[in-house]
Amino acid sequence: MAKLILLPGKERPLLKRHPWIFAGAVGRLEGRARPGDTVDVLADDLRWLARAAYSPKSDVRARVWSFTPGETIDDAFFKRRIAQAVARRESLPQLREQAGLRLVHAESDGLPGIIADRYGDTVVLQLTSAGAEKWRQAIVNGLVQATGCARIHERSDSEVRALEGLEPVTGWCHGQPLEEVLTIPENGIRMGVDVVGGHKTGFYLDQRDNRLLVSRVAAGRSVLNCFCYTGGFSLQALAGGAAHVLSIDSSGPALDQARANLALNPELPAARAEWLEADAFLALREFRRAGRGFDLIILDPPKFAPSAAHADRAARAYRDINMLGFRLLNPRGLLMTYSCSGGIGQELFQRIVAGAALEAGREARIIQRLTAAADHPVGLAYPEGEYLKGLMVQAD
């Protein structure tokens, strides 16, 4: 096995169990290692630190599989780790009855580069690292054994694969393919999930609890849901008794699915729903000129900052959309605003929202901090795993 030997002092993050080794921390590679191969990571004094997957084309030069001396990285390793991840979810009462569930959450489950989401008896797999790519079949086998799922579809088409030197990979890798969009219940609402052509793995499971929160605060309110995708927040607002819900997305197909999702729930008041295909930034400016106002505004934009290098540009976009939101918010209205950008931390996001309120001339205060659901855990030694951060803010 090849050895990745670090520069002096660069072992400190690993001693604290952080799972990444950046290229700038590497002194030399002893032996030969191809992308995805397992290497031993040593300090400059040759102390053993970890066993990791090597990725020569990435700034994250290696991702740790194990901090346990002597642990073998083989098929049995992935079977064991995947079973442990599934068992963690089964031990949490609030997750046991969920038809849509994240089963494996990458580094936070000790499986860097591996995402697995379950929708009923279908699992969607996403592999984003060279190490995960190398062990694809072992991962598929581990998921089948741990879940008994009928089928697995791979959606390894994320842009981050290019940073690992990997091409996109999609397709069915276990069981009989689905012929149509599948449907799952979530918090009493039926939602269609396109695992083949939808965003990410087909749905945003991380917002499950926040969607339920919308249903609890929407009664009697006029609601604006920006970047609505397939209408998860919108349908929960209707279920919660919203007076009117205006949903905006730039994707026509996403809005078509949102309308179809509304039709799946005939008990909801469809006459109170309005769908608009538009750029949210432009639409909100037009609403401002028209003098419109809303009692509850939801801002859940796409990832503006995939890494810290994009943070400045992303901060401007988050400031602008939140400023527009504050300007459209009625007195004592609620703004639920989110960032899923890993390059924007919790403190920075709060500063951005505070600056947006100031620029909009609004006094506002945080009512609740919002985060991902419990099936998206954050490893204590891996703060980067807390990618979704949100605030519920009330403005005077």
B/e letters for 250-262, b = 16+ CB within 10 Å, e = fewer, are: beeebbebbeebb
32-73 per-position pLDDT tens digit: 999 999 999 999 999 999 999 999 999 999 999 999 999 999
Can you read off the two tokens belonging to residue 156? 């390894």
Run of H or E residues at 169:
strand 169-174
Quick check: 383 pLDDT over 70?
yes
Across the range 386-394, mean pLDDT stands at 96
239-273 per-position pLDDT tens digit: 999 999 999 999 999 999 999 999 999 999 999 99
Q: What is the mean pLDDT of the chain?
A: 96
Catalytic residue among 149, 173, 228, 340: 340
226/280 Cα distance (integer angstroms) = 6
HSE at residue 244, side-chain half, CA atoms within 13 A, is: 7
User: What pLDDT was estimated at residue 302?
Assistant: 87
* Residue 243 DSSP symbol: S
- Is 3.30.750.80 the CATH number for 75-179? yes
Quick check: 313 pLDDT over 90?
no
The more confident residue out of 316 and 208 is: 208
User: What pLDDT was estimated at residue 309?
Assistant: 65
CATH class of the region 3-66: mainly beta
* Residue 217 DSSP symbol: H
181/198 Cα distance (integer angstroms) = 10
135-190 per-position pLDDT tens digit: 999 999 999 999 999 999 999 999 899 999 999 999 999 999 998 889 999 999 99
User: What pLDDT was estimated at residue 308?
Assistant: 62
Q: Record the pTM.
A: 0.94
301/121 Cα distance (integer angstroms) = 29
Can you read off the two tokens belonging to residue 218? 């929407």
What residue spans define the domains of the chain?
3-66, 75-179, 183-395
Residues of the chain with pLDDT > 70, as a percent, come to 98
Homologous superfamily (CATH) for 183-395: Vaccinia Virus protein VP39 (3.40.50.150)
Across the range 187-196, mean pLDDT stands at 96
The more confident residue out of 193 and 302 is: 193
340 is catalytic: yes
HSE at residue 160, side-chain half, CA atoms within 13 A, is: 21
147/122 Cα distance (integer angstroms) = 10
How far are the Cα atoms of 36, 209, 213 from residue 367, in angstroms, in the given order? 45, 16, 12
How sure is the predictor about 303, in pLDDT bands with cuts at 50, 70 and 90?
confident
User: What pLDDT was estimated at residue 343?
Assistant: 81
333-349 per-position pLDDT tens digit: 999 999 998 888 899 99
Across the range 194-206, mean pLDDT stands at 94
Q: Are 16 and 64 in contact (CB under 8 A)?
A: no
How sure is the predictor about 224, in pLDDT bands with cuts at 50, 70 and 90?
very high
Can you read off the two tokens belonging to residue 78? 């992935």
2: Cβ contacts below 8 Å, ≥ 6 apart: 29, 30, 31, 32, 33, 37, 39, 40, 54
Torsion sign (Cα): 371, 376, 379, 380: positive
